[in-house]
Structure 1
Amino acid sequence: MPSVFFGSLCRLFPLIDTPLFRSDAHTNEKALVTSSTDRTVRLYWKGHSRCYKGHSGPVTALADKLLGDGEFKVLATGGEDCTIRLWSMNTRAKKHPLVSTLHGHEKTLSLLSVAWHKSSLLVSSSKDTKVKVWDTMAPPSSVSSSCVGHTYLNSSGPPIAIKCYESLCYIAAGSEVTAIDLRTMKKVSVLALGDQRIFSCEMMPSEWLICTGIKDKALLWDIRKSQELANTVAELHSDGPVTLLHLDPYKVVTGGPCDDQVHVWETQTGHLVNTLSCNNPVKSAGRSTLSAMAVDGCRIVTTGRSTEGSLLHYQDFLRSSVPVALPGEEVSKFWGPQEYDDEGTDDDD
C-alpha cells in the first residue's frame, strides 16, 4: 500500500457490490476508502489504488454505502468546502471520475447516508444541523434542483452519526438521537440522554438497537422501550470518551482518542470479549492514538497517529485459531488476532 496521509474517516465496501469486482475469487474482498485533510479521497482494493481529487478543502464526510444499482455505482463525499461530490466507481471513468457536485449547504458537511428504500437518494447533514435529501440521479443540468427535501434538527450540537433504515433516517446530535421520516421530513421519535453529550452513535434499527458513546462508556439501547437509563441493554465502560463505535448483531467494538486499543463486546450480553492493540509492534516504536475505525465481520481497520506519523492498521481474524474463553467456559464467536500485510500494491493514479 503506498505511503499516504490518512485522514479521520475510512469505510469498507464489499468489492462484489462495485464495478471493480472481476471474479468469484474476489467475492469476500473489500474496497477501502479513506479521506484526508489534504483534500483527497483514496480508494484501495486488492493490488490497486486510486486517488480522487476535486474538493477545495478537507474531506469531512464519506457516505456509508455506494449510490446506484448495477454497474453504475457512485461514491459520495462531503467537505469543508460545503459541497457534496459524486464519484464514479467504474474503472472506465478512472481519468474523469467526478460525476457531479451538489451545492446547497452553507456549513461544513458532517455526515452522508444512502437511503434504505431508494439507492439514488442521499441524506446529508452539516455542522449547522441542516439536513437535506438529494436525488443523485437527477440530470447534471438539474443539479440545483436535485434537493428533494430538507429540515433542521434544532439540537444542542452538530450531527455526529447518521443511519438510514427503510424510509426513516436516524441522526445523533448533541444529547439526542432523532428519527426523521424521509417521505415527509418530519420527526417521528427522539431518544434524549439528558445532559449526556453523545460522542458517537451506531444504529441497527432492524434489531431495534442503538448504541451511543458518551464520556466514559457506551450505552446500548432497545429503541422499543422507554428511553431511560434503567432500560439500557448494557453499559460498556471505557477509560475515556467513546468516539469510535461499530455495532452488528454479534458484537460492539468501541474505541477513543485516549486509548491505543479497541474493545470487543457481545451485543446480546454486553460481556467484554477481547481487547485489541491497534499499534503495529514491528513498524511503530511509539504509542498511537485512534482517529478512525472500520469493521467488517472479523476484519478491523484503524487509523491513528504515533510519533512516527500517521498509521493504518489492518487486522484480520478469519484465519485465527485461538479461541477467547468467556465466563462459564463458553467459547466466543470472536478469535485471537492474526495479522498480515498486503504487499505489492500499485497506484493507478
Structure 2
Amino acid sequence: MVPPLQGPVVKRLRLGLDMELVETYRTHSARITCMRLFPLIDTPLYRSDAHRNEMALVTSSTDRTVRLCWKGQSRCYKGHSGPVTALADKLLDDGECKILATGGEDCTIRLWSMNTRAKKHPLISTLHGHEKTLSLLSVAWHKSSLLVSSSKDTKVKVWDTMAPPSSVSSSCVGGAHLNSSGPPIAIKCYESLCYIAAGSEVTAIDLRTMKKASVLALRNQRILSCEMLPSEWLICTGIKDKALLWDIRKPQELKHTVAELHSDGPVTLLHLDPYKVVMGAPWDGQVHVWETRTGHLVNRLSCDEPVKSGGRSTVSAMAVDGCRIVTAGSSSTRGSLLHYQDFLRSSVPVALPGKEVSKFWGSQEYDDED
C-alpha cells in the first residue's frame, strides 16, 4: 500500500503488463491522513463467500471522517470533532464482532462496530485520557481486545475495549511516558511487548506491567523511519545518511548492529521483511535493496528513466509486496510519476561489482504519469 500524498483521492490500480485504473475513491473533502487494508469478511460490506479473500480500504481524513470502501460501496463514520489522524493497524475483536479504532486531534479514541446490525449507530464508545493529538494505534498481539495508543506528547496508554460503555473512564488499564526527544513515528505489538520508535529511541514496553523491557538508543541521531520484525528479532531504523539493522537480542550499541546500510540522503522510506530491506531517500530518485541476513547490497532501482528523461526524480512514497515494488514521486521532466517494478517473472540476473549474482533480477517496469 502506498501511503497517501497530499490529497483527498485514492486510486486503486491493477498492476501487471498493463497498468489499469480499477477505481477512484473520491469520498473525502480534505487531505487523507492514513490508510489501512482489512479483510472484507470482517467488515459490514461483506456479502458473499465469493469475496472472502478480498480486502476493504479504510481511510481517515482532516475532514473529520473515516471511510470504509470496497468496489463502489462505502460507509462513512462521523464522530470526531477534529481531523482524524490515526487508524489501528488491525481490527479489535470483542468476541462477537470486529471493532475499528480511530484517533484524532480531538485527543479521543473512537471505537466503531463493524457489525452489519450497527449500521445506524456504529459508534460504540469514546475513550478519553490523552491530552495531545493521537499519532499511532496498535492492537496487542497477545490479546486482541487490548488497544495501545500513543500521542504526540510521547504518552502511551493501553485500553481494555471490552470494558462496559458505562465505565469508559476505567477502560485505560495502563500507561507510560517515553521521555523521548520527538513524537512517536512507528509502533508494533508482538506477543506481550509493544515496540515504539520516537525521537532517537526504540522502546519495548511489556504490556503486562507497562514497564520498559529494553531501549535501543541512537545517540545524537533522530530516527526518521522504522520497521520492526520482532518475530525475527530485527528492527531497522532510518536516519540522516543510513539505515541501521539491529538484532534486538544483543546489547543495544552501534557495534552490535547487524548491518549499516548507507544512503545518499535521509532514509524516510523503509521496508523490512525476512529476506530484504528496501529503503529510499526523497531526493535520491532511487531505492536500494539489501539482503536482510547479510546486509549486502543487491540492487539499486531507479524510480524514473534517467536515460530518457535526463532530469532529476524524487521519491515521496513506497510500497513493497513480495517481489513487487511501487514508488510514487515526481520527475523534473515528466511530472508526477507512479513507478512499478515486478521481479516475479524476471530472467535477467544482476551482477554487482565484486559480488555474487544477486537474487533480485532485472525487472519489467511500468510507469503511470498524471
| TM-score scaled by length of structure 2 | 0.76
In the TM superposition, what is the alpha-carbon distance from 1:172 to its structure 2 partner?
1.1
Is 1:321 the counterpart of 2:345? The answer is: yes
Cα pair 2:137 2:150 within 8 Å, conserved? yes
1:9 corresponding residue in structure 2: 34
Cα pair 1:10 1:293 within 8 Å, conserved? no
- Counterpart-to-counterpart distance in 2, 1:111 and 1:128: 12
Two-structure CA RMSD over aligned residues (Å): 3.5
In the TM superposition, what is the alpha-carbon distance from 1:20 to its structure 2 partner?
4.4
Change (3 A) 1:146 1:70: closer
Which of residues 109, 119, 122 is equivalent to 2:134?
Answer: 109
- Counterpart-to-counterpart distance in 2, 1:265 and 1:192: 23
**How many residue pairs are counted as aligned between the two chains?**
331
In the TM superposition, what is the alpha-carbon distance from 1:210 to its structure 2 partner?
0.4
Which of residues 257, 269, 277 is equivalent to 2:294?
Answer: 269
Cα pair 2:60 2:84 within 8 Å, conserved? yes
Cα pair 2:204 2:212 within 8 Å, conserved? yes
| Runs of 5+ consecutive residues of structure 2 not aligned to the other structure | 1-23, 306-311
Question: Residue 349 of structure 2 aligns to a residue in which SS?
Answer: strand
Q: Which of 1 and 2 has greater Rg?
A: 2
Change (3 A) 1:98 1:157: same
- Counterpart-to-counterpart distance in 2, 1:78 and 1:306: 35
- Counterpart-to-counterpart distance in 2, 1:272 and 1:85: 44
- Counterpart-to-counterpart distance in 2, 1:143 and 1:116: 22
2:188 corresponding residue in structure 1: 163
Which of residues 321, 332, 335 is equivalent to 2:360?
Answer: 332
Is 1:63 the counterpart of 2:116? The answer is: no
Which of residues 155, 175, 178 is equivalent to 1:130?
Answer: 155
Write the deviation string for residues 149-170 of structure 1: whole angstroms up to 9, x where unpaired: 1111112222211111111111
1:343 corresponding residue in structure 2: none
Change (3 A) 1:90 1:83: same
Q: What amino acid sits opposite 2:121 in the alignment?
A: H
Question: Residue 271 of structure 2 aligns to a residue in which SS?
Answer: strand
Is 1:152 the counterpart of 2:177? The answer is: yes
Is 1:88 the counterpart of 2:118? The answer is: no
| Runs of 5+ consecutive residues of structure 1 not aligned to the other structure | 280-285, 341-349
Write the deviation string for residues 102-153 of structure 1: whole angstroms up to 9, x where unpaired: 1100011111111010000001111111110000111211111100011111
Write the deviation string for residues 165-207 of structure 1: whole angstroms up to 9, x where unpaired: 1111111111111111111111111111111111121111110
- Counterpart-to-counterpart distance in 2, 1:296 and 1:85: 30
Change (3 A) 1:335 1:20: farther
2:5 corresponding residue in structure 1: none
1:282 corresponding residue in structure 2: none
Cα pair 1:12 1:31 within 8 Å, conserved? yes
Is 1:36 the counterpart of 2:39? The answer is: no
Change (3 A) 1:38 1:129: same
In the TM superposition, what is the alpha-carbon distance from 1:276 to its structure 2 partner?
6.3
- Counterpart-to-counterpart distance in 2, 1:278 and 1:59: 33
- Counterpart-to-counterpart distance in 1, 2:221 and 2:339: 32
1:172-187 matched pairs, under 5 angstroms = 172-187=197-212
1:246-257 matched pairs, under 5 angstroms = 246-257=271-282
Among all aligned residue pairs of Structure 1 and Structure 2, give the percentage whose two residues are the same amino acid: 76
Cα pair 2:64 2:82 within 8 Å, conserved? yes
Which of residues 122, 140, 145 is equivalent to 1:120?
Answer: 145
Cα pair 2:65 2:76 within 8 Å, conserved? yes
Higher RCO (CA < 8 A, seq sep 6+)? 1
In the TM superposition, what is the alpha-carbon distance from 1:257 to its structure 2 partner?
4.4
Q: What amino acid sits opposite 2:151 in the alignment?
A: S
Deviates more, 1:182-191 or 1:294-303: 294-303
2:214 corresponding residue in structure 1: 189
| TM-score scaled by length of structure 1 | 0.80
